[in-house]
Amino acid sequence: MVRTSITPETTQIIAGTRRILLANPRGFCAGVRRAIDAVEQALELHGAPVYVRRAIVHNRDVVERLKQRGAVFVQEIDEMPPGAVAVLSAHGSARGVKLAAQNRGIRVLDAICPLVAKIHAEVEDWYRMGRHVLLIGHQGHPEIVGTLGQLPAGAVSVVSRPDDLAVIDIPRNIAVAYAVQTTFALRDAQEMIEAIRTRYDDVAAPRASDICYATTNRQRAIETIAGKADLVLVVGDATSSNACRLVEVAQGAG
């Protein structure tokens, strides 16, 4: 087996008659690693059980390993006993979740990814400035649910394609701002931002892109590979937004 690096985004392995291209970078992002570390550190510090609200990572092997060490995965705070130690996921959690934990005397370790925390702070600022927030993302995704949960109902509209702007029907003269789900596909976000700028007179934008570098550099890497491969395999979970975007990018590249 011969292993060589053919571009910064691609490693090549020659195995018999088969040529395998590996995307660079690949694997967990820093935000997810940080969340896994938070569960492991909580187990070391407080002992088992440590409760984890929702999936900390879309990877069954990691989840099983954490379960064996004493992590208990639940969907909601009311499934945790009062006084428990709980880790909240990298996707970020609605304010109501933290309040529910506080009311049950639960000690919370918030493993929110710093980039998601930046988006929460931004949407709060815009709301305070009197802007309606257009959140570009996939309705129902945990990160979107968490971001929506930072502001009162009606302050944010979730949009994922240009046609959605007609459906939400916010008048043109209303001051708006947009934020983007960290794992949204770069091209789709650009299309959405253009549509927002065309439709509204006063649009505020994030100071820096909301789309995560770990997401964009993996999308670029798979785009490079897709043009050179007969088959692209994305090793991931169907519930992972990142994995689904990689499949779409590979399909888009043929």
Q: Which residues bind ligand SF4 (CB under 6 A)?
A: 29-32, 90, 113, 115-116, 182-183, 212, 214-215, 242
Residue 241 beta carbon to ligand SF4: minimum distance, rounded to whole angstroms: 8
Helices assigned H by DSSP within the chain: 30-46, 60-69, 95-103, 114-128, 142-148, 164-168, 186-199, 213-226, 241-252
Catalytic residue among 40, 76, 124, 143: 143
How many Cβ atoms sit within 10 Å of the Cβ of residue 159? 21
76 given a catalytic annotation: no
Pick 197 or 213: Cβ nearer ligand SF4: 213
Residue 175 CB contacts under 8 Å (≥ 6 apart), including other chains: 129, 130, 131, 132, 202, 204
CA 108 to chain centre: 20
Distance of alpha carbon 9 from alpha carbon 21, whole angstroms: 10
Shortest spacing between CB 183 and ligand SF4, in angstroms: 5
What's the token pair of residue 140?
């129902």
φ, ψ of residue 92 to 5 degrees: the values are 90, 150
Nearest residue (CB) to ligand SF4, 85 versus 246? 246
Q: State the nearest-atom distance from the C-beta of 31 to ligand SF4, in Å.
A: 3
Taking the complex as a whole, the smallest distance from the CB of residue 250 to ligand SF4 amounts, in Å, to: 18
Pick 132 or 147: Cβ nearer ligand SF4: 147
Indicate the residue whose CB is closest to ligand SF4.
31
The contacts of residue 24 (CB under 8 Å, 6+ apart) are 5, 8, 9, 10, 11, 221
Q: Which is nearer to ligand SF4, 32 or 176 (CB)?
A: 32
For the annotated catalytic residues, the residue numbers are 143
